[in-house]
Amino acid sequence: MDVMSMEFWTALITIVFIDLMLAGDNAIVIGMAARNLPKEQQKKAVIWGTFGAVAIRIIATVIVTSLLNVPWLHLAGGLLLLWIAYKLLVQEEGEHNIKAGNTLAASIRTIVIADAAMGLDNVLAVAGASHGNIWLVILGLIISIPIVVWGSTLFIRLLNRFPWIAYVGSAVLVYTAAHMITGEKKIAAFFEDSPLLEWSFILILIVIVLATGLITQNLRKNKAAQQKRRETH
């Protein structure tokens, strides 16, 4: 992929955006793991914990990108990413049972382990968006990680203030998932013969996931409102 091509920059912007959309939990993990440390050690825990998490994230993404060459895994990965795009719209705020470390080493270890456990969605999405280009993955992480560490709180506030951003993020994930599915070698020829069919497939998937997420959110709100009315009467 040519560095000066539109395809390269589109993929890079997509990867950075995906990293930001799926970074909320990572910011919470970092904050909770370092909260018991003295102020002067908290910054070190954040920096070194993030460095270790990024290293593992890069290795995991390289492995996943390589595995996507196995027959049918592109399709399986695309379907899983569709589910992740849906969950992004309907996720509920829950408790994060992250044990705070009492030492610098313990906090760094907690950040790295927790990030690795929670990072499957990010790894899969970035692997799909990179089109097999490892340098895109690394460059995307280098750009987005500082924003995640120091700017994720602001981004989360933006999401709360402008809920439509979550729908844009979900659409980007669905777009990436659809390309993974249509890029599956076993069925790629079916879509290559008809670009119109491919784009129709992508648009249909985007509409289905966004509509399903919106309906689910409305049902939850109605259920919560009914529950509240019952409790007040």
pLDDT-flagged residues of the chain (< 50): 94-95
pLDDT digits (tens, 9 = 90+) for 100-138: 567 778 777 777 776 665 566 677 777 777 777 778 877
Structure confidence at residue 117 (pLDDT): 59
Q: Is the entire prediction scored with pTM above 0.85?
A: no
State residue 122's pLDDT score: 72
pLDDT of residue 201: 94
Question: Over the chain, what HEC string results?
Answer: CCCCCHHHHHHHHHHHHHHHHCCHHHHHHHHHHCCCCCHHHHHHHHHHHHHHHHHHHHHHHHHHHHHCCCCCHHHHHHHHHHHHHHHHHHCCCCCCCCCCCCCHHHHHHHHHHHHHHHCHHHHHHHHHHCCCCHHHHHHHHHHHHHHHHHHHHHHHHHHHHCCHHHHHHHHHHHHHHHHHHHCCCCCHHHHHCCHHHHHHHHHHHHHHHHHHHHHHHHHHHHHHHHHHHHHHC
